Each structure stands twice: as structure tokens, then as C-alpha cells.
Amino acid sequence: MPPSAPASTESPPMIAALDLGSNSFHMVLARTSNGEVRILERLGEKVQLAAGIDERRELDEAAMQRGLDCLRRFAQLINHLPQGAVRVVGTNALREARNRAQFIRRAEEILDHQVEVISGREEARLIYTGVAHTFHGAPGQRLVVDIGGGSTEFIIGQGFDSQLRESLQMGCVSFTRRFSDGKITSARYVQAYTAARLELMSIEPGLRRLGWQEAIGASGTIRAVGLAIKGAGLGNGEINAEGIAWLKRKLLKLGDVEKLDIEGIKPDRRSIFPAGLAILEAIFDALEISSMAHSEGALREGVLYDLLGRHHHEDIRDRTLSFLMERYHVDVDQAARVEAKALEAFDQVADDWKLNENWQRELLGWAARIHEVGLDIAHYHYHKHGAYLIEHSDLPGFSRQDQQMLALLVRGHRRNIPQDKFSETGADADTLVRLCILLRFAILFHHIRCTQAVSEVRLQASERRLELLFPRGWLNANPLTRADFEAEAAWLARVGYELRIK
């Protein structure tokens, strides 16, 4: 599937964000005007997708159906919106599910918009963005925590910028499956608490090193804890250690989730509440938090504001690529030359090769910018090093699908094009091979790392053929380029494409 929507100079009048969480699915619909957002509709349903992941790490049909039924209800509000006005993100349950492609395909048929599966740290970045735009707390450094159904995110930031982003494999749904059978016992609670403490050990030093002046929670679990504590008269909605201790005693005394009739805890949250409380208590103890406020803004609001930024040339993806190029000492002049030539070639063959969508052009431009990141590791097989870095690095703003496609283009930009790996992308395989061919053309054209004095090279394409029309006599005067493209013809023949040079 394509990357998420490209930036444009104007925002659509209405935009929407969908968060396909491990516990709940949420949607926000908003009107935009002069860069501002006005929320028109908020919807949320408990789906508990994570509860349907079996021992083979596959979503069962019942869980899929719960999610798809929810999306059918959401779709009525967004199916009239154009591409680029809606962003749909999947989190931990879809990260974990080995058969996520099956669910995603069915979801996209319902929504008519792409579903992106985002990494844990990208989820953390978007959560912080949502909090930063909706919670007006004290100035200074803040710690944001979001306890989800399958993972818990931790972010330290200031203003609108996050400095540290972490995601741990612990959530109220996954811990409920591990440590609960409906009964609330001291032994099971301690097991969940201890498991959370063990998870936290890996990130405690980094969080403490940066420090914070304010702690903010951004999830349904933390909101429910705050409301329960407030209902007991132990606070004004903020979470504190005294309130957590009281709630813990209350739960253990009740002994069964069916008896959980506490103000602030909705009936559909009762079964997962004890696990969520155990995780929250572990966080308070490990990080020595005295109190935590709650933010209504979280992932879905972050997705919404991030989407708005893409339409106002504030695309985090551009900053991410610039940082990647700087970190791996990419020759920015060469990258710019290759990008310009690749996009020029794209525009010439777009109609004949059915490359008529914005995401295709954008993906090619990104790949051209970063195709040499692997050179900083080693020249030998640097295209493979670069592909590995792109696929496995945390790249803010990019979904996993984005990174996989980018990695494929970089992997295939020299020598053999790994057709088997391209085929794994399904319906987009032919498109990606064609983009890879255009990238290879631009790189070979600028094999000599300077601007060559040459008239426009014309490209003509048909189904499995590409013709390069050079100015008369130019190839004879540039024998290295001729040799490059003659060798390229042999490489492309391996993937069923004919390259003709005239």
C-alpha cells in the first residue's frame, strides 16, 4: 500500500484520524481552517483486538470481525473524504499479529483509505504530539505515559518536541490474558506488577537522566484510575500514590472483576482494569512519581495534528530524512542531483507506466535522497547496509510499510533487483520495480559525481520496456555512461524488462 498522504499547500476542509488500538478503536473527525483544528466528532469502541491473538501470534476471526464491524460504523463518517484527508494507524496488536495483512486488506476495503502499522516509538511520538496540542500544563520538561492494550509508551519532551520515546511490551489487555482469569488475587496482582517492573528496568536510566517537572497520563486506563480516585475523595482527578494504594486494596477486597462497581470505571473496562492498575503502580514506583495529571489528547489527536502539518509543509518525514542523511554523512549534492533526475524521469513515463499517484513520486524522491546511507558503514554491499538501516531504524513520521518500501528501493538500486522480495509487497510489486528502475537510471546518469553538460535525455516506456534517447553523439563522447547502461540492460533483463539505449 502507498505511504501516507503527501504534503500540500492547502488543508482539506475536513480531516480524520483513526487509531486502531489493541484495546479500543478511536476516531476523530475535525474541520480545519487557517491551520486550526475544530473537533466535530469523537467515536470510540472497545474492540480488544489484542485479546484475539493466539499462541501462533495470529488474530482469530472473531477479533477481526469485531474490528471490521467497528470500522463499518466509522466508515460512514469518512468515506466521502478524499485521499490524504484521512490517516489510519494500527498499533501493537497489528504490529504483533503475523496475519495482519489479511485484516488490513479487509479494513481498507471498508474504509477506502490506507491502514498504516506504526512502530512503538512512532506511536510514542504521535501520542506526545496529541498531548502537546491539547494539554496546557506547566512549562518545562514533561513525562507522558500512555498505557494501551498491548504496549505502554513513555515520552519525555518540552513544548511540541519530544526528546526521548520508548515503547514497552506491556498493556492492560495483554497483561490481563497473562495474569487474570477474572479473579483478583494478591498473588496474580504481584505477578503483573513484577512483570511490569522488569520491563521498566531497560528504560529507567534514560528517563531519569533527562528528568521531568510534570507527569501526564494519556490513556483510558489512567483516566479511569483518576476518576476512581476522585470519586473516593482522594484527589481532584490527578493520580497519586495514595489513591493507587486505596484502589489496590479495594480491588483485592472485591476479589472478582464482576464485582468491580467503582465510580469512574465503565463496565467494559472492568475486566482489564486490575492489570492496568498494576502497570500504573509499577510505573509510579519505578520512576518515583508523586502525582500524574490526565490529558484527553493522545494518539488520535496526535495523528490529526501530524496530518495537518503535512499539508502545511511541516512534514516530520522531511526532517527525519535530513537527520538520517546528516547522521550517515550522505553527499547531499549528489542526493539532490539524483532526486531531480529521478523525478524528471518519473514525470516522463508516469502515464505509460501507470505511475499516477502522488505517493509513488514522493517515495521515489525519498529513496533518491537516502540511497547512499549505507556507504557510511562500508562500500562493499552498501546498498544492503542502507536497506537494513532504513527498515530497522526508528524513522519518525514513517509507517512500517513506508520503511519497507523505501528499504526495497535502496536495496535494489544497484546490481541485482531482488524480485522475490519485491513480490512480497503484493499488488504494489510492479509499481515498486518500476520506481526502482527509475532510481537506477538517475544514479547511473550521475555516476560521475558532478553535473554533466548534456541536453535533456528523453525516456519512453511501454509495458516491459524502457527506451533512453540521448542526444546524438553524446554516448560516444561519454563511454563510461554507455558502459553503465549496457550493463544495466543485462540487470533489467533478469526481472523481465528490456532497456534500449539510443
User: Domain of 247: which CATH number?
Assistant: 3.30.420.150
244: CB partners within 8 A, 6+ apart: 225, 229, 277, 280, 281, 284
Range of the domain at 102: 14-118+302-310
Go through 117-140 and write b for each residue having 16 or more CB atoms within 10 A of its CB, e for each that does not.
bbbbbbbbbbbbbbbbbbbeeeee
**CA torsion angle 404 407 409 413 (round to 10):** -160
Of 310, 344, 364, the one marking the end of a domain is 310
Question: Same domain for 188 and 291?
Answer: yes
- The larger pLDDT score, comparing residue 418 to residue 12, is at 418
Is there a domain that residue 390 lies in? yes
Q: What's the confidence (pLDDT) of residue 11?
A: 63
Asked whether the beta carbons of 11 and 31 are under 8 A apart, the reply is no
Q: What's the confidence (pLDDT) of residue 95?
A: 93
79 — pLDDT class (breaks 50, 70, 90): confident
Distance, in Å, from the CA atom of 263 to the CA atom of 66, rounded to the nearest integer, reads 27
Q: Which percentage of the chain shows pLDDT scores above 70?
A: 95
Is there a domain that residue 5 lies in? no
**Nearest alpha carbon to residue 299 among 101, 106, 92, 50:** 92
Question: Same domain for 109 and 236?
Answer: no
Question: Same domain for 96 and 149?
Answer: no
Count how many Cα atoms sit within 13 Å of the Cα of residue 320 in the half-sphere of its side chain: 17
Q: Which three cell numbers stand for residue 375?
A: 556507504
Distance, in Å, from the CA atom of 216 to the CA atom of 147, rounded to the nearest integer, reads 11
Burial of 388 (0-12, 13-18, 19+ CB in 10 A): middle
Mean pLDDT of 183-203: 96
7 — pLDDT class (breaks 50, 70, 90): very low
Is there a domain that residue 55 lies in? yes
Is there a domain that residue 213 lies in? yes
Question: Same domain for 89 and 171?
Answer: no
Residue 8 has pLDDT above 50, yes or no: no
Specify the CATH number for the domain of residue 448: 1.10.3210.10
Residue 293 has pLDDT above 90, yes or no: yes
Question: Same domain for 216 and 163?
Answer: yes
Which range of 53-57, 133-137, 168-172, 258-262 scores highest in mean pLDDT? It is 168-172
Is there a domain that residue 451 lies in? yes
Question: Same domain for 149 and 250?
Answer: yes
Question: Same domain for 231 and 336?
Answer: no
Of 310, 345, 374, the one marking the end of a domain is 310
Question: Same domain for 355 and 240?
Answer: no
Q: Which percentage of the chain shows pLDDT scores above 90?
A: 66
Is there a domain that residue 127 lies in? no
Choice among 27-36, 113-122, 376-385, 400-409 with the minimum mean pLDDT: 27-36
In the sheet that 458-462 helps form, which strands lie side by side, from edge to edge?
Answer: 458-462, 465-469, 498-501
Domain count, the chain: 3
Query: pLDDT tens-digit profile of 294-311?
Result: 998 889 999 988 888 765
Phi, psi of 89, rounded to the nearest 5 degrees: -120, 140
Amino acid letter, 484:
D
Mean pLDDT of 299-326: 82
175 — pLDDT class (breaks 50, 70, 90): very high
Question: Same domain for 256 and 220?
Answer: yes
Question: Same domain for 261 and 360?
Answer: no
Distance, in Å, from the CA atom of 436 to the CA atom of 410, rounded to the nearest integer, reads 8
Question: Same domain for 249 and 370?
Answer: no
Is there a domain that residue 7 lies in? no
Is there a domain that residue 107 lies in? yes
**Nearest alpha carbon to residue 388 among 362, 357, 423, 421:** 421
Question: Same domain for 327 and 463?
Answer: yes
